[in-house]
Amino acid sequence: MGEPERAAANAEAVRRMTGAQPVLVDVLPAGQAIPGIRPNVILTSGPPMDWDMYDGGQRNAVIYGALYEGLAASAEDADAKLRDGRIVLGATHDHGCVGSVAGIYTASMPVFVVENAVGGNRAYCNFYEGESRHRLNYGSYNDEVRRGLDFLRDELAPVLQAVVRGSGGIALKPIISRALRMGDELHSRNTAATTLFTRELMPQFIEYAVGISRERALTALRFFAASDYSFLRLSMAAAKAMADAACDVPAASVVTAMTISCRNFAIRVSGLGDEWFSGPLPEVSCRLFDGFTAEDVQWIGGESHITETVGLGGFAQAAAFGLQAYQGGSAEEMIRMNSGMYQITVAEHPDFLIPYFGFRGTPVGIDIFRVVGTGITPVIDGGLAGRNGGQVGAGILRAPLACFDAAITAYQAKYGN
Where do contacts with a copy of itself occur on this chain (CB under 8 A)?
181-183, 191-192, 195-196, 198-199, 202-203, 205-207, 209-210, 214, 217-218, 221-222, 225, 321-322, 324-325, 330-331, 355-359
Separation between Cα atoms, residue 282 and residue 292, nearest integer Å:
19
Separation between Cα atoms, residue 389 and residue 135, nearest integer Å:
8
Separation between Cα atoms, residue 377 and residue 401, nearest integer Å:
6
- Nearer Cβ to a copy of itself (212/413): 212
Burial classification of residue 143, based on how many CB atoms lie within 10 Å of its CB (0-12 exposed, 13-18 middle, 19 or more buried) = exposed
DSSP string, 103-135: --EETTSEEEEEEETTT--EEEEE----S-S--
- What angle separates helix 232-244 from helix 191-200, to the nearest 10 degrees? 90
Contact 224, 208 (CB under 8 A): no
Separation between Cα atoms, residue 380 and residue 33, nearest integer Å:
29
Separation between Cα atoms, residue 231 and residue 255, nearest integer Å:
24
Separation between Cα atoms, residue 311 and residue 365, nearest integer Å:
7
Shortest distance in whole angstroms from residue 360 CB to a copy of itself: 10
- Nearer Cβ to a copy of itself (119/328): 328
Separation between Cα atoms, residue 218 and residue 229, nearest integer Å:
18
Shortest distance in whole angstroms from residue 392 CB to a copy of itself: 23
Between the CA atoms of 293, 305, 196 and 132, what dihedral angle is there, to the nearest 10 degrees?
-30
- Nearer Cβ to a copy of itself (196/252): 196
Separation between Cα atoms, residue 83 and residue 358, nearest integer Å:
55
Shortest distance in whole angstroms from residue 359 CB to a copy of itself: 7
Q: How far is CA 31 from the centre of its chain?
A: 19
- Nearer Cβ to a copy of itself (138/205): 205
- Nearer Cβ to a copy of itself (202/294): 202
Shortest distance in whole angstroms from residue 209 CB to a copy of itself: 5
Q: Where are the beta strands (DSSP E) in 107-247?
A: 110-116, 122-126, 170-171
